[in-house]
Amino acid sequence: MTASQIIFYLLSAFILGSGMLAVTSRKIFRSAIWLLFSLIGIAGLYFWLQVEFIAAIQIVVYVGGIVVLIIFSIFLTQKSGSEMPKPPKWRREFAILAVIFGFGFVWQLISHHEFKETSTTALDVNMANIGTQLLSTTEHGYILPFEVVSILLLAAMIGCIVIAMKKTEAV
């Protein structure tokens, strides 16, 4: 086993273990912290895959943004020390069965499919390449989705403010 393989298996065990704890922990704040660890592990996996840009985005947006937002909303809406009620037994059993069957089915498909690796020259995934192609207007450019996503972010921002705004007394 090489060092790279050992790192991959350690990272995967870390991601799956903390992900598992994030969905089963009964204290909501702990569950958010486990989610944070799982997302950091995924960022490590991106570093391992040598896509440093996505890893940086993962840390900045998920770990620094979304999880902090989730923790804020936990503090605003929950008594974070108390335990959440246990899910009823039938629901847990149904969920475990559904998940195991789903996983088995998908794993069956994946393990019997032959992935053909195209052996052309690998493109270096660096900032310059990503920026040039993301903003290019040629055939394989992504400028249109980029603009659409920027409009979406603006709409989401205004929507959040409108939804969460306190209603003023009869104008």
Partner 1 sequence: MNDIPLTHILFVSTALFFIGMYGLFTRRNMITMLMSVELILNSVNINFVAFNKYLFPEKLDGVFFSIFIVTIAAAEAAVAIAIIINLYRSHNSIDVEDAGEMKY
Q: Is 127 in the site for partner 1 (CB under 8 A)?
A: no
Contact at 8 Å (CB) between 28 and 84? yes
Cα 39 from Cα 48, distance rounded (Å): 14
Interface with partner 1, residue 138, by CB under 8 A? no
3-state SS class at 139: coil
Interaction of residue 74 with partner 1, rule CB under 8 A: yes
Cα–Cα distances in Å, from 32 out to 14, 41, 63, 146? Answer: 15, 14, 11, 30
Looking at beta carbons only, is 77 or 137 nearer to partner 1?
77
Torsion, CA 67, CA 70, CA 71, CA 72, rounded to 10: 120
- If binding is defined by CB under 8 A, does position 116 make contact with partner 1? yes
Q: Map the footprint of partner 1 across residues 91-110, applying CB under 8 A.
A: 91-92, 94-96, 98-99, 102-103, 106-107, 110
Q: Which of 16, 79, 83, 147 binds partner 1 (CB under 8 A)?
A: 16
In this complex, which beta carbon is closest to partner 1, that of residue 115 or of residue 170?
Answer: 115
